Structure 1
Amino acid sequence: MPERLPLVLLPGLLCDHRLWRDQARDLEDIAEPTLPDLTLDDNLSAMAKRVLDAAPERFALAALSMGGYVAFEILRQQPQRVTRLAMLDTSAALDSPQRVTQRLAGIQSLKHGRFFGVTTRMLPQLVHTKHVHGPVGAEVQAMAKRVGGDAFLRQQNAILNRPDSRPLLASIDVPTLIAVGDSDILTPPRDAEEMHRQIAGSTYYVFAACGHLPPMEAPEETSTLLRRWLLE
């Protein structure tokens, strides 16, 4: 039996091991997945160092949303350890002023009140409308509650203080997959297209009728896509 490929799967804001659960299971015949905890640090440098300290010497790296920001930091710190890269529903650019204002408002509201996690009103920003009132929406809400308010504050601080990663794109020289949900509001397809244009030889994929969380919204499609990326 061929040796399994080390695979690190990085979650997004308010996400835990559930985000990549199906892919970790579906790919275990060819990959040895690890799912780092990104809730413990309040800056990307520390997050990346924690991942690198626990990771195999060389590994494939797949990341979603905030996990993508950590992936870029890993590439800044120790690029030689990453054998291939998959970036789902993330962006290399900094937040728009409007998005910064939204993040700061969320932080202030939590400091003066209770953490409500992902409310039903917020779900349409994270998942396609077809999932808002179904099991996927419920699992997203449960995941956010498990992560909790303290970790949310740490993660938002890390995101707000992240560097612009666009200057890094041209230096990426490993097999790279860029994928995005066609209905992603938070990191829309134009952000993915920019990364695809700047990373030579990268592959671009769009999930139909999908929002910001393809690993949960389209689990089989995501697993199939990552299998192809791992074996190419």
Structure 2
Amino acid sequence: MPRSPLLLLPGLLNTRRVFAPQVEALADVASFTIPELWHHDTMAAMAEAALAAAPPTFALCGFSMGGYVAFEILRRAPERVERIALIDTQAAPDSPETAARRRGFIEQTQIGRFHGIHPTLLPQLVHPSRVSDESITQPLFDMACDIGGDGFVRQQQAILGRADSRPLLVEIEMPTLVIVGREDLVTPLPRAQEMASDIANARLEVIDESGHMTPLEKPAEVSAALRRWLTQ
């Protein structure tokens, strides 16, 4: 069986390592392209860099911020996308409160106060049962250090400037998978339900006992859902 080209788009402060379990689990059905998204400060630039790295046509999977980039790719080159998976992300723009918080993170980082992911943020990112699980938390700390303060600022600026993707949802006709952790506090379950209901050919998979970081928190479940989406 030929392997499907799969473009994987990591989230905020994530390197390709966020998808390491999926790359291992799906190696028999997919060939992977995973661009670095922290070198750019607009969604347009991120999308163009991803498209430049990708094969002519591909399956597209975006996690968190990567979902925002995936929507931008759909605006620019829908004919290249065969199917799309959206993991712990949302189509709506930031609320004013969230946007203000992002600007605060940017200001703190620009005055030299970037310390990666502080342990106090973990309850926002992972299920309460995993806050002390180093197999999940250590990769988060390591990826944030790899990206650094400058990369973090560029990513936050791109997220702040992103378009509202809700009008795009009704135009998506390709096979679509929406995955969300049931206890995701960053992009909560209702956001995933709204996306799935607005996309004609969408399947919603809710991952129990998982927060925002489902690719790392529940790797087997996420990989199984992606396998079904890729092969059906």
Per the shorter chain, which TM-score range?
over 0.9
Q: Which residue of 2 aligns with 1:24?
A: 23
Partners of 2:39 and 2:111 in 1: CA distance: 22
Partners of 2:140 and 2:72 in 1: CA distance: 26
Q: Which residue of 1 aligns with 2:32?
A: 33
Partners of 1:155 and 1:187 in 2: CA distance: 17
Q: Which residue of 2 aligns with 1:191?
A: 191
Partners of 1:223 and 1:179 in 2: CA distance: 11
> Larger deviation: 149-158 or 129-138?
129-138
Q: Which residue of 1 aligns with 2:76?
A: 77
Letter of the aligned partner of 1:129 in structure 2? P
Partners of 2:145 and 2:123 in 1: CA distance: 17
Letter of the aligned partner of 1:179 in structure 2? I
Q: Which residue of 1 aligns with 2:203?
A: 203
Q: How many residues align?
A: 231
Question: Normalising by the residue count of structure 2, what TM-score does the alignment of the two structures yield?
Answer: 0.98
Identity of aligned residues (%): 48
**Is residue 88 of structure 2 the alignment partner of residue 96 of structure 1?**
no
Letter of the aligned partner of 1:209 in structure 2? E
Partners of 1:130 and 1:206 in 2: CA distance: 17
Q: Which residue of 2 aligns with 1:45?
A: 44
Runs of 4+ in structure 1 deviating by more than 6 angstroms, as ranges, are none
Letter of the aligned partner of 1:78 in structure 2? A
Q: Which residue of 1 aligns with 2:65?
A: 66
Q: Deviations over 1:36-93 (max 9, x none)?
A: 1101100000110011111010000011110000000000000000000000000000
Q: CA deviation at 1:114?
A: 2.8
Partners of 1:56 and 1:181 in 2: CA distance: 30
Q: Which residue of 1 aligns with 2:177?
A: 177
Q: Deviations over 1:76-114 (max 9, x none)?
A: 000000000000000000001111111011111111233
Letter of the aligned partner of 1:188 in structure 2? P
Q: Which residue of 2 aligns with 1:54?
A: 53
> Larger deviation: 170-179 or 128-137?
128-137
Question: Normalising by the residue count of structure 1, what TM-score does the alignment of the two structures yield?
Answer: 0.98
Letter of the aligned partner of 2:171 in structure 1? S
**Is residue 21 of structure 2 the alignment partner of residue 14 of structure 1?**
no
Q: CA deviation at 1:199?
A: 0.2
Letter of the aligned partner of 2:73 in structure 1? I
- Structure 2 unaligned residues grouped into runs of 5+: none
Q: CA deviation at 1:34?
A: 1.3
